[in-house]
C-alpha cells in the first residue's frame, strides 16, 4: 500500500515539473532564448600560454670611476678590481712606465678610469688619469689601433706667499701645526733658528712664533706644495729671534739675522730635536765603570730612532764602529774644528767618509750602541785637537754682509717686513712679478 502511494507521488511530481517547463518556454522572450542557444553553440577556444616578450640586451656604455689607492695597492690590482683583464692591465702599466714608475703610487692618491664592457666577461680600459705630484698630470688613452698612448704634462701652479703665526700653549710643534704650519715648515724653522734658540729648554708657554714661506697652489684641486721658508721669528720672553732668507749676488741663498750676519757657519745649539740634556761636559762618575772620568762631550737623552743633524756644514771623516762609542760619526768642518756623534742606532743613507753634509742635514739616528746605559746621543766638539764644551763654543766666525750686498739685503728685508704686515695669517697673497 505504502509502495503504491510513493509511486503515485513521484509520478505526480514529474508531471508537474514538465508542465512548469512548458509554460516557461512558451512565455520566455525570444531574444533571450537566441542568446542562450548561441552561447551554447559557441565553440570553446583552447587556452594559450602567455609568453614574455624577449627584449634585446642593450649594450652597456662606458663607465667612469675615481678610485683611491689604499695601502698595499698596485696599479695592476686596482685595474683587476674593475674587471679589466690581466693582459690589458699589464699593457696599460707598461705604457705608463715610460713616464712614471707605478711603484711610486702612494696610499690616498686618486686614479680616474673610464672603461667599458668587452666582448667577453672582462672590461676594456679606455682612459686613465692620475696626478703623481702637484706639478704633473698623466693621461693614458686607447688609440684607434687599440694600443695605449700616454702623455705627461706640466700643470700650471700659482706661486703665493703664506704666513703662519701663533702662541705656544702646549708645545711649539703642536701649536704651530694647529695654526696651519706643515711638518716641513716646522723642520725648516727649527733648523734655521737652532743657531740661536735651544728649542728644548728656551721655549716657554706664552712665547710666540711667526713664519712666512712661498708655496705653489692648485686652487682647483685644493692642494699646495710648500716652497722655501722666507722668514721666521720666535719671540722668547719678549726677545725676537728673526732670520731672513736672502741670496747675495754670486752666492747661494742662505739665512741672515736682521743685522746682515750670516748664520751659515754657526753651530746648532743642539744637533737633535726633542732631546733633554742628561749629562754635561767635564769630570763625572762614569755610569758603567763607576770611577770618575772626564766626559769629553754632552749627552742628550732621546728615544731610539730620533734623527741626528749635522751641527754645521762639513765632510764626513769617519762613519763606523769605534770602541765604546759604538756606531760613531766624525765631521770635519774646517782645518781646526770637528764634531763627533756617538752611540748611534744607524747611519743615514749615503753617510760615509768623504761625503759633504749641510748644517741641519740628518746624518744618523739615536741608539744605545757601545758603552751605553740607554738611548742617547753623545756629542763632542773638538777644536785644534782638544775637546771643548759644546754648550760654550757655538760660533765659528759668522760672515757678515758688507757694502753693496748689505744694502741689497736691507732692501730685501724691508720688502719682506712690508709684505708680512699686509699678509693675513694662514692666508695667501699673489707674488707680483
Instruction: State the Cα angle at 112 between 107 and 114, rounded to 5°.
Output: 140
Residues 418, 349 share a domain: no
Cβ neighbours around 345 below 10 Å, total: 17
CATH at 250: 3.10.450.350
Task: Name the domain boundary from 128, 154, 180.
Answer: 154
**269-293 residue pLDDT tens:** 788 876 677 777 766 555 554 545 6
Name which of 404, 416, 393 is nearest 242 in CA terms.
416
Lowest mean pLDDT among 35-44, 54-63, 223-232: 35-44
Residues in the chain: 433
Residues 146, 82 share a domain: yes
Work out the average pLDDT over 51-80.
72
**328-372 residue pLDDT tens:** 999 998 778 999 999 999 999 999 999 999 888 999 999 999 988
pLDDT at 273: 73
Kindly state the percentage of the chain with pLDDT values over 70: 77
Mean pLDDT of the chain: 79
Q: What is the dihedral of CA 298, 302, 308, 311, to 10 degrees?
A: -30
**201-258 residue pLDDT tens:** 788 889 999 989 887 777 666 666 777 889 999 999 889 999 999 998 888 888 999 9
What is the number of structural domains in the chain? 3
Residues 257, 301 share a domain: no
Residues 197, 141 share a domain: no
Q: How does residue 102 score in pLDDT terms, banded at 50, 70 and 90?
A: confident
Specify whether the backbone of 326 is left (phi greater than 0), alpha (psi in -120 to 50) or beta: left
**DSSP state at residue 260:** S
Cβ neighbours around 341 below 10 Å, total: 27
Cα 305 to its chain centre, rounded Å, is 21
Question: Could you tell me which residues come within 8 angstroms of residue 279 by beta carbon, excluding any fewer than 6 positions away?
Answer: 295, 298, 299
**Range among 46-50, 54-58, 68-72, 398-402 with highest mean pLDDT value:** 68-72
**121-163 residue pLDDT tens:** 788 899 999 988 777 889 999 988 889 999 998 777 777 888 8
CB 168 within 8 A of CB 205: yes
Give the integer Cα–Cα distance in Å for 91 and 94: 5
pLDDT at 405: 92
Work out the average pLDDT over 8-28.
59
Domain-embedded: residue 167? yes
Domain-embedded: residue 137? yes
CB 306 within 8 A of CB 366: yes
pLDDT at 190: 80
Residue 267: CA count within 13 A, CB half-sphere: 26
- Environment class of 20 (CB within 10 Å of its CB; exposed 0-12, middle 13-18, buried 19+): exposed
Cell of 389: 764644551
Residues 119, 68 share a domain: yes
Residues 71, 136 share a domain: yes
- The residue ranking higher by pLDDT, 3 or 20, is 20
> Three-class SS string for 373-397?
CCCEEEEEEEECCEEECCCCCCCCC
- Asked if pLDDT for residue 51 goes beyond 50, the answer is no
Domain-embedded: residue 13? no
Q: Which residues make beta-bridge pairs with 245?
A: 255
Domain-embedded: residue 40? no
Domain-embedded: residue 269? no
Residues 312, 164 share a domain: no
Kindly state the percentage of the chain with pLDDT values over 90: 29
Residues 145, 79 share a domain: yes
Domain-embedded: residue 27? no
| Domain limits for position 342 | 276-388
Give the integer Cα–Cα distance in Å for 393 and 375: 25
Lowest mean pLDDT among 66-70, 81-85, 156-160, 390-394: 390-394
pLDDT at 189: 83
pLDDT at 117: 85
pLDDT at 14: 66
**378-426 residue pLDDT tens:** 999 998 889 988 877 655 556 788 999 999 999 999 999 988 888 776 6
In angstroms, the Cα distances linking 407 to 40, 259, 403 are: 123, 11, 7
pLDDT at 270: 80
pLDDT at 223: 67
Q: For the chain, count helices (H), then strands (E).
A: 7, 23
Residues 283, 375 share a domain: yes
Q: How does residue 433 score in pLDDT terms, banded at 50, 70 and 90?
A: very low
Task: Name the domain boundary from 111, 134, 154.
Answer: 154
Give the integer Cα–Cα distance in Å for 433 and 212: 18
In angstroms, the Cα distances linking 322 to 158, 258, 325, 369 are: 51, 42, 5, 10
- The residue ranking higher by pLDDT, 275 or 81, is 81
CB 179 within 8 A of CB 426: yes
CATH at 359: 2.70.70.10
Residues 135, 186 share a domain: no
Q: Which residues make beta-bridge pairs with 48?
A: none
Residues 122, 181 share a domain: no
Give the integer Cα–Cα distance in Å for 189 and 211: 8
Residues 144, 170 share a domain: no
Q: Which residues make beta-bridge pairs with 99?
A: none
Q: How does residue 295 score in pLDDT terms, banded at 50, 70 and 90?
A: confident
Give the integer Cα–Cα distance in Å for 89 and 79: 6
Sign of CA dihedral 81, 83, 86, 87: negative
pLDDT at 12: 65
Domain-embedded: residue 358? yes
Task: Name the domain boundary from 136, 154, 172.
Answer: 154
DSSP letters, 194-259, are: TTT--TTTT--TT-EEEEEEEEEEETTTTEEEEEEEEEEEEEETTEEEEEEEE--TTS--EEE-TT
Place of cell 748611534: 344
Question: Could you tell me which residues come within 8 angstroms of residue 372 by beta carbon, excluding any fewer than 6 positions away?
Answer: 326, 343
Amino acid at each position: 500500500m505504502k509502495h503504491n502511494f510513493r509511486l503515485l507521488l513521484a509520478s505526480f511530481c514529474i508531471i508537474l515539473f514538465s508542465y512548469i517547463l512548458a509554460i516557461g518556454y512558451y512565455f520566455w522572450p525570444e531574444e533571450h532564448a537566441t542568446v542562450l542557444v548561441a552561447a551554447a553553440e559557441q565553440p570553446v577556444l583552447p587556452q594559450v600560454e602567455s609568453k614574455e616578450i624577449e627584449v634585446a640586451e642593450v649594450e652597456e656604455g662606458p663607465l667612469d670611476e675615481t678610485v683611491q689607492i689604499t695601502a698595499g695597492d698596485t696599479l695592476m690590482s686596482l685595474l683587476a678590481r674593475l674587471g679589466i683583464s690581466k693582459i690589458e692591465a699589464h699593457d696599460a702599466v707598461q705604457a705608463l712606465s715610460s713616464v712614471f714608475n707605478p711603484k711610486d703610487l702612494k696610499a690616498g692618491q686618486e686614479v680616474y678610469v673610464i672603461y667599458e664592457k668587452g666582448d667577453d666577461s672582462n672590461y676594456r680600459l679606455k682612459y686613465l688619469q692620475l696626478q703623481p705630484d702637484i706639478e704633473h698630470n698623466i693621461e693614458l688613452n686607447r688609440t684607434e689601433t687599440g694600443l695605449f698612448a700616454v702623455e705627461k704634462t706640466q700643470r700650471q701652479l700659482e706661486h703665493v706667499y703664506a704666513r703662519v703665526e701663533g702662541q705656544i700653549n702646549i708645545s711649539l710643534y703642536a701649536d704651530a701645526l694647529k695654526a696651519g704650519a706643515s711638518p716641513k715648515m716646522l723642520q725648516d724653522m727649527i733648523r734655521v733658528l737652532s743657531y740661536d734658540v735651544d728649542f728644548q729648554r728656551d721655549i716657554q708657554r706664552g712665547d710666540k712664533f711667526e713664519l712666512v714661506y712661498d708655496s705653489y697652489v692648485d686652487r682647483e684641486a685644493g692642494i699646495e706644495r710648500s716652497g722655501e721658508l722666507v722668514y721666521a721669528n720666535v719671540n722668547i720672553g719678549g726677545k725676537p729671534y728673526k732670520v731672513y732668507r736672502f741670496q747675495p749676488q754670486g752666492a747661494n741663498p742662505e739665512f741672515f739675522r736682521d743685522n746682515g750676519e750670516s748664520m751659515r757657519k754657526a753651530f746648532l745649539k743642539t744637533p737633535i730635536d726633542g732631546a733633554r740634556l742628561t749629562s754635561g761636559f767635564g769630570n763625572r762618575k762614569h755610569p758603567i765603570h763607576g770611577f770618575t772620568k772626564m766626559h769629553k762631550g754632552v749627552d742628550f737623552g732621546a728615544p731610539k730612532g730620533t734623527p741626528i743633524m749635522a751641527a754645521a756644514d762639513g765632510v764626513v771623516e769617519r762613519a763606523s764602529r769605534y770602541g765604546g762609542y759604538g756606531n760613531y760619526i766624525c765631521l770635519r768642518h774646517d782645518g781646526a774644528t770637528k764634531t763627533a756623534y756617538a752611540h748611534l742606532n744607524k747611519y743615514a743613507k749615503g753617510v760615509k767618509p768623504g761625503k759633504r753634509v749641510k748644517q741641519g742635514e740628518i746624518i744618523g739616528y739615536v741608539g744605545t750602541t757601545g758603552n751605553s746605559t740607554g738611548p742617547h746621543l753623545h756629542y763632542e766638539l773638538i777644536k785644534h785637537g782638544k775637546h771643548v764644551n759644546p754648550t760654550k763654543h757655538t760660533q765659528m766666525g759668522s760672515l757678515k754682509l758688507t757694502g753693496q750686498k748689505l744694502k741689497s739685503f736691507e732692501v730685501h728685508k724691508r720688502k719682506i717686513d712690508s709684505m708680512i704686515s699686509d699678509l693675513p695669517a694662514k692666508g695667501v697673497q699673489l707674488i707680483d712679478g
